[in-house]
């Protein structure tokens, strides 16, 4: 769904405050949860969104305007086909996104993000059984892989760098840092 559970958001916000990135790519922003949460903390951030479902841009008012800041740049595309420079950021957010990809695609995307030069990566995925199909005419909302937290721990550790983990009752969050 284009929304996200509140679990892990305070934890993520603490890590955002610690690292204070100046450039962020939010993959699959949906309603813009992370931009709404993080933008007030650090005003000078350049926010890029990669959204596969074009109707969400209008539905959730993702474009920045003179009176409201959301995303400075929006790319309507599948992130697996995005240009490398969009992943070369101080922070790349995969907030409730990787469960919508086959596992091998998700792992390859994380590896590609590290190879592109991302300094930090935030991942949030459901860690409980969460079957989901198409939502509101968006076939990309279907869950294609159920992540086990130990599996995601291993994937994130395999990227090198440092990894911090939050394990809630519904969501797990990982903050990877190139460090």
Give residue-wise pLDDT tens across range 81-124: 999 999 999 999 999 999 999 999 999 999 999 999 999 999 99
Tokens of 24: 């962020």
Give residue-wise pLDDT tens across range 141-167: 766 789 999 999 999 999 999 999 999
Domains, the chain, ordered by start: 9-177 (3.40.50.150)
Model confidence at 38, in pLDDT bands (50, 70, 90)? very high
What pairs with residue 23 in β-bridges? 46
Higher pLDDT, residue 66 or 23: 23
Query: How does DSSP classify residue 50?
Result: E
pLDDT at 7: 87
pLDDT at 15: 98
How far is it, in rounded angstroms, from Cα 76 to Cα 55? Answer: 10
pLDDT at 149: 96
Asked if residues 118 and 92 have their Cβ atoms less than 8 Å apart, the reply is yes
């Amino acid at each position: 769904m284009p929304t996200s559970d509140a679990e892990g958001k305070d934890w993520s916000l603490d890590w955002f405050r610690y690292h204070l990135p100046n450039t962020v790519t939010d993959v699959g922003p949906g309603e813009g949860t992370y931009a709404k949460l993080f933008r007030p903390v650090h005003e000078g951030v350049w926010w890029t969104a990669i959204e596969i479902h074009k109707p969400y841009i209008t539905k959730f008012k993702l474009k920045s305007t003179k009176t409201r800041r959301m995303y400075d740049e929006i790319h309507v595309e599948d992130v697996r086909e995005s240009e490398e420079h969009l992943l070369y950021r101080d922070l790349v957010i995969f907030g409730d996104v990787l469960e919508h990809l086959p596992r091998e695609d998700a792992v390859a995307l994380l590896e590609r993000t590290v190879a592109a030069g991302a300094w930090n990566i935030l991942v949030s995925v459901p860690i409980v059984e969460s079957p989901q199909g198409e939502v509101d005419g968006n076939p990309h909302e279907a869950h294609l892989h159920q992540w086990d937290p130990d599996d995601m721990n291993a994937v994130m550790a395999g990227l090198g760098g440092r990894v911090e983990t939050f394990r809630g009752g519904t969501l797990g969050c990982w903050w990877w840092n190139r460090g």
